Structures are given as C-alpha cells and as structure tokens.
Chains A and B, each alone.
Chain A
Amino acid sequence: MDDVRTSRQRRRGRKENLKIRARLLQSVRVFFIERGFLEVETPVRIPAPAPEAHIDPVRSGQWCLHPSPELCMKRLVASGFEKIFQISRVFREGERGSNHLPEFTMLEWYRAGEDYCALMSDCEALLAHLGGELLDQPVLEYGGVSARLDGGTERVTVGEAFRRHAGRSLNEIIAENSFEEVLTEAVEPRLGHPLPTLLHDYPIELGSLARAKSSDPKLAERVELYVAGIELGNGFSELVDAHEQRKRFEAEIELKRARGVEWNPMPEKFLTDLPHMPECAGMALGLDRLAMLFTGAETIDEVSAFTPEEL
C-alpha cells in the first residue's frame, strides 16, 4: 500500500501468481470430476441468505449477492443430487484485510449419505492431489513454516487445540467471550504445520447449520481446515431438522438485530425443502487463500487480478 507503483504494474507482477491460480482451479475441477462429483452453478443473486450472526450479505436491489452457495446447493441435494461441487464468486460486506476480500472465490462441495468424516478425507485427498499436480515436492513453504501435503492430516478437536496451544479450557474462554481473540492469536498460528490440520467438534453455538454430535449434543460436527496457519475451509455434517434449523436461524437473526442489521429475511423455500434433504455433509474452501499458499503470496491482493481498490 505504501508503494507508488501503478495498478497496471502491480498486475504485471502478479502474472506468475495468476497462472498458478488458474492451474489450481483446473486441478480442483479435475479432482472432483474424477471422483464422480457433478459441477453445478447456482444463482449468485438470491432473495435470502442463511442468517448468520457475523456474515453480512452485499445487497442487490431487494435481494442480495450470495455470501455462499450453501442454500441452493443443499436444495439440490434435497432434490436427489448426491455429489455436487461448485466454484463460485461469493460476496461479504465489510470484509477486507490481508486474507479477506469482500468478493472472493469459493469452492463448495456436498456429499449425500455422509458425515463430516468424509469431508476430512476429501480435504486430505484434495491437498495431496494439488501438491502432486502443482509442486515438485509435495511440501508447501509458507510464512516461515512448511506443510507436507501427502502425509495425511493432524486431526484435533477445538477443545484439545485450545488446551494445547492456549493452555486454557474452551469453556473458560467462551465464558469470558474471547473465543475469536484466543483462536486467532494463540491457536491458529500453530495449526496446519508440519501437516495440514483438521480442527473439529466446535461448541454448538458456533455451528448454526451443523448437526450436533450424538455423543455430546453440546458439540457440533463442524470441521475447519488449516494449512500453514491459514484458515482455508469450513464444513459440517449438515443439520437436516427443519424445525431445529428455523430455531437456530431465529437465534442468529436476533444476534444480527442486536448489531443493528435490519434486513434479515428467512430463507423459507430452503426450510421447506430441508425435510427432504438426506443426511449429508458439505464443505466450503477459499480458493484465493489456497492460491496464496501455493504462490507464497503474503496478501490476498497478490493472487487477485483486481482488488476492490483498483476498480
């Protein structure tokens, strides 16, 4: 930001990164197609997103641009689509930082008849595949650490990760309302190296679309993927109970109202279709951040053709 090069020069400098990004997108497609997933496209402009306390959609007339393709993809699963994936541009109001763009590229996939354990295996296989396709050695060097992509993953529960890296119990941290601070300062930098980390079993209040664990209803079957300290993706064993889902959406809307957010439509057609959705699991993964890892880019700007500031 402090340099005075023109944005045209900056884009020229990004050419190599954009080539790697293109190969990454192609390899991701090949991975899913080879495994029998159907590539789908769902509308970018939708009447109601999933109400989530801390995700603000970008308005588009009376509707909005989707913050993720989640609801439409689940409705496809409810209509009998068993394995689908989508690569789409998604939009989130007010998110801008070295790892955030208000418009970014998301990979999202769903598997009917599976739970979040299948997603973890998918993540592991996807990273190994990409490492094999794009790197001479399947090891990512990023931010002073390295992550081996073909040696499996570290799987750790949120509770254990907080004990191990922050030296404190999750309950204590939630009680003092500092989950995000401790996670980003003490825990995340330690995740994803020397192996990618699958952080799983979140407190139920942090997984509004996730199914509760049958062995412990205070935990949600939610998983996040980290590589070299970077948060890449989020997945759930999807909640299929429409009644419970409506209650959780209402709770999220309450939290949004408390923040002063006024536009909170309920996604009624999704809730109507939900009882027809089989048990399934879905995961979303940020492809811009994946491109950062494979190019060594320090900021998301360096793997983007244009940033909002350059438009």
Chain B
Amino acid sequence: MYKAADLKKGLKVEIDDEPYVIVGFEFSKPGKGQALYRCRMKNMINGNQMDRTYRSGDSFKPAALEERTMQYLFHDGTFYTFMDSKTYEQVHLTDDQVGEGKNFLIDNLEAEILMWQERPIGITLPNFVNLRITKTEPAARGDTTSNVTKLVTVETGYSLQGPAFLEEGELIAVDTRTGDYGTRVKG
C-alpha cells in the first residue's frame, strides 16, 4: 500500500477499481492544520481526468499493472492485434489506445503492452523504429547544406521531414516519442 506521503507525479494507483496515474500533484498544509495532497489523476483506461484531495491518513493500493512484450501482427480495420510470442496469446487494442503509435507499427514489431486485469490498456513502443522510405523526391544535386529538409514517406504511410540526401528504399530510424527523423540505418 502507498501512504499519502508517497503520492507524486507519475505514481499509479487503484481507485474505485480502476487504474489511475497522477498527472498533477500539489502538497499544501494550512498553518497548524493537516497536510492535504491535491492530485489530478488520469484514468488509465479511458483517459478521463479528475481532481481528488487526500489527507495524511489515506492509503492507496498500487495499480496492479503488468507490461508484456508482444509482437504486432495485423490491423483488421477495427483492432490492432498483438501476440505474446511465448504463450501465443493474442490481445486487441483500439485506435484510441494505439494513438500516434499506428505510424510506427510494422509487422513483427515488439512493443510493451500494458495489461490491467488481463485487459490491454496501453502500449509503449521502442524509442526508435527502423522504417523503409517508400516515397520521396530525388536528392537535390549539389545542395550540400545540412539544414535543408524534405518530406519523406515511410512504409506505414507516415510522412515526416528528413535531410535532403535521403532516397527511396533507404531505411531510417524514427523517434516514436516525437515522430521525428533520427538517423539513416544501413541495410
């Protein structure tokens, strides 16, 4: 169990049988009075936020979350299906749960699936994913300035700005946290 004094941003606790992450936290203590712990909590299943104020005697159950490494299999138009390569168990995530992650999902990509009571509720991708360029303008000849960028489209259909020297068919590492170009990858 957590005590009120353990509350801080990022802590994951269970409230009313649902997992919450603390996204805002403020300690206050009116003179000689009891300490108050004001929290803005985000429901980890539906994203709804709520504000709650706790006192020093309150205690909290840690949210029993589990991360499992799974491989991306396919998208059937409604769900993104992932598989645990050890148990062959499959789970299905919605568009909302995958969010911007859809830009980086290629077959067999390994991702961390966040599980709550055997239900998938979120996904964490590797920080960098290697994606092949499927479309871009040819490299501009003679232009050696390094700050010139151009639009490149990768195999998932995602488009981003990259350096002018990139060519179709090349593999690039893309930062899944920002969606930005990282480096060119050999191979």
Contact indicator per residue, chain A 59-100, by CB within 8 Å of chain B (1) or not (0):
000000000000000000000000000000000001111111
Nearest B residue to A52, CB-CB: B32
User: Using Cβ atoms and an 8 Å threshold, which residues of chain B touch A179?
Assistant: 33
Nearest CB in chain B: distance from A197 CB, A: 13
Q: How large is the interface on B (under 10, 10 to 19, 20 to 34, 35 or more residues)?
A: 10 to 19
Instruction: Name the segment of B22-30, B42-50, B140-148 touching the other chain.
Output: B22-30
A259 contacts the other chain (Cβ, under 8 Å)?
Answer: yes
Q: How far is the CA of A170 from the CA of B35 in the complex (A)?
A: 19
Contact A54 B35 (CB under 8 A): yes
Nearest CB in chain A: distance from B25 CB, A: 9
Of the candidates A53, A55, A95, which one forms a contact with B27 in the assembled complex, judged by CB atoms under 8 Å apart?
A95
A181 contacts the other chain (Cβ, under 8 Å)?
Answer: yes
Contact A54 B33 (CB under 8 A): yes
Q: Which of A53, A98, A181 has the most CB of B within 10 A?
A: A181
User: Using Cβ atoms and an 8 Å threshold, which residues of chain B touch A52?
Assistant: 32
B114 contacts the other chain (Cβ, under 8 Å)?
Answer: no
Nearest CB in chain B: distance from A279 CB, A: 22
Contact A259 B32 (CB under 8 A): no
Nearest CB in chain B: distance from A65 CB, A: 18
Interface hits, A228-274 → B, CB 8 Å: 231, 234, 259
Known: A54-B35, A94-B35, A95-B35. A184 touches B30 (CB 8 A): yes
User: Using Cβ atoms and an 8 Å threshold, which residues of chain B touch A234?
Assistant: 31-32
User: Using Cβ atoms and an 8 Å threshold, which residues of chain A touch B173?
Assistant: none
Contact A259 B28 (CB under 8 A): no
User: Using Cβ atoms and an 8 Å threshold, which residues of chain A touch B56?
Assistant: 54, 259
Nearest CB in chain A: distance from B95 CB, A: 28
Q: Chain B's interface: helix, strand, loop or mixed, by majority?
A: loop
Q: How large is the interface on A (under 10, 10 to 19, 20 to 34, 35 or more residues)?
A: 20 to 34
Of the candidates B30, B53, B57, which one forms a contact with A188 in the assembled complex, judged by CB atoms under 8 Å apart?
B30
Number of residue pairs across A and B with beta carbons under 8 Å? 51
Of the candidates A1, A97, A206, which one forms a contact with B32 in the assembled complex, judged by CB atoms under 8 Å apart?
A206
Q: Which of B30, B55, B56 has the most CB of A within 10 A?
A: B30
Contact indicator per residue, chain A 198-242, by CB within 8 Å of chain B (1) or not (0):
000000001110000000000000001000000100100000000
Q: How far is the CA of A207 from the CA of B57 in the complex (A)?
A: 21
Contact A55 B32 (CB under 8 A): yes
Q: How far is the CA of A47 from the CA of B111 in the complex (A)?
A: 56
Q: How far is the CA of A53 from the CA of B57 in the complex (A)?
A: 12
Contact A184 B32 (CB under 8 A): no
B36 contacts the other chain (Cβ, under 8 Å)?
Answer: yes
Nearest CB in chain A: distance from B36 CB, A: 6
What are 19 A-B residue pairs whose CB atoms fall within 8 Å in the complex?
A1-B9, A54-B32, A54-B34, A54-B35, A54-B56, A94-B5, A94-B35, A96-B27, A98-B26, A99-B28, A100-B27, A100-B29, A180-B34, A188-B30, A206-B33, A208-B32, A231-B30, A259-B56, A259-B57
Besides A54-B35, A54-B56, A234-B31, 7 new A-B residue pairs in contact (Cβ under 8 A), listed by A number = A54-B29, A95-B35, A97-B28, A98-B27, A184-B28, A188-B30, A207-B32
Using a CB–CB cutoff of 8 Å, the interface residues on chain B facing chain A are 5, 9, 26-36, 53, 55-57
Using a CB–CB cutoff of 8 Å, the interface residues on chain A facing chain B are 1, 52-55, 94-100, 179-181, 183-184, 188, 206-208, 224, 231, 234, 259
